């Protein structure tokens, strides 16, 4: 798009030294976060990334954070996401043209691994399809963090380089009907946006989680912190001291950590 102006190392966002890329036409900024330079031992603490996001939001700028390993290993998914943010997806289709199917695990796994940054998750899977092509999918299950709701939406994504107009709404309505559920909760990763799409289909924003972290080894790969809860460490680490904290034990074994931005929490309740 020759009408999009890109500004690198943009220094005029109030309260920030810079962001890597700023696109004024769409009020979007992009940060490419090198795992080494954005790790905790290099001074990027729990609130560094979320504070940068909030400072941008105060000026109506949506900041997208991309970790180094995501760009190296999942660049096609990142590119599709960014194209969607500037409304430049290569292909568009209306959900009304598609039918809903229940998707088996052996079909859901490759779809999510190829199209969602977090990959596959166990749950009950539904897809919007035309013939044998999957355009979008959603996965639900029992709430993992808040039992006040009937269901949790674990995943939603479209096939790369596709925009499915009305896709999320159609899938949610079907899921709630099939499961006879009166409430659903979901979480939007604040590294990629505040989840405005949920508001547009009737969800309510109820708050944010605290930032979470990933562990790093050799700065190439991030590991989910759940793998390294303290009660698991004695069998995972070469050196383990029960008197030390989880983080101290991880540092003792050469690990660093990197913080995310937390999640926005959305719910849909009192469904008739």
Both tokens of residue 224?
A: 């989910």
What percent of the chain stands above pLDDT 70?
A: 93
198 contacts: CB under 8 Å, gap ≥ 6: 168, 186, 188, 205, 266
CA neighbor of 28 nearest in space, from 44, 7, 14: 7
Q: Is 16 in contact with 55 (CB distance < 8 Å)?
A: yes
**Backbone φ and ψ of 178, nearest 5°:** -65, -40
**Is the separation of the CB atoms in 109 and 120 below 8 Å?**
yes
Confidence at 18, pLDDT banded by 50, 70, 90: confident
Tokens of 20: 């890597």
Q: What is the pLDDT of residues 217-235, one digit of tens each?
A: 888 889 999 999 999 999 9
Q: What is the DSSP letter of 27?
A: T
CB 229 within 8 A of CB 215: no
Q: pTM to 2 decimals?
A: 0.91
Region 25-51 average pLDDT? 94
* 190 pLDDT higher than 50: yes
């Amino acid at each position: 798009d020759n009408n999009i102006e890109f500004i690198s190392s943009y220094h005029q966002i109030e309260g920030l030294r810079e962001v890597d890329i700023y696109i004024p036409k769409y009020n979007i900024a992009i940060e490419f976060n090198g795992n080494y330079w954005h790790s905790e031992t290099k001074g990027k603490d729990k609130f560094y990334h979320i504070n940068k996001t909030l400072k941008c939001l105060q000026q109506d700028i949506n900041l997208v954070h991309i970790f180094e390993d995501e760009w190296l290993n999942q660049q096609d998914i990142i590119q599709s996401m960014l194209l969607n943010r500037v409304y430049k997806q290569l292909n568009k289709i209306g959900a009304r043209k598609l039918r809903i199917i229940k998707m088996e695990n052996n079909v859901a796994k490759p779809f999510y691994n190829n199209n969602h940054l977090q990959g596959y998750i166990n749950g009950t899977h539904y897809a919007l399809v035309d013939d044998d092509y999957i355009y979008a999918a959603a996965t639900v299950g029992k709430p993992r963090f808040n039992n006040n709701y009937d269901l949790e939406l674990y995943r939603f994504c479209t096939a790369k380089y596709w925009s499915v107009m009305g896709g999320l709404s159609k899938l949610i309505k079907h899921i709630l009907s099939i499961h006879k559920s009166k409430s659903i909760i979901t979480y939007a990763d604040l590294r990629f946006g505040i989840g405005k799409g949920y508001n547009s289909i009737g969800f309510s924003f109820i708050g944010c989680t605290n930032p979470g972290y990933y562990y790093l080894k050799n700065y190439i790969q991030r590991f989910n912190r759940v793998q390294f809860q303290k009660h698991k460490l004695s069998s995972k680490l070469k050196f383990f001291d029960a008197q030390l904290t989880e983080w101290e034990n991880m540092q003792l074994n050469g690990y660093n950590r990197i913080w995310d931005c937390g999640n926005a929490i959305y719910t849909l309740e009192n469904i008739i």
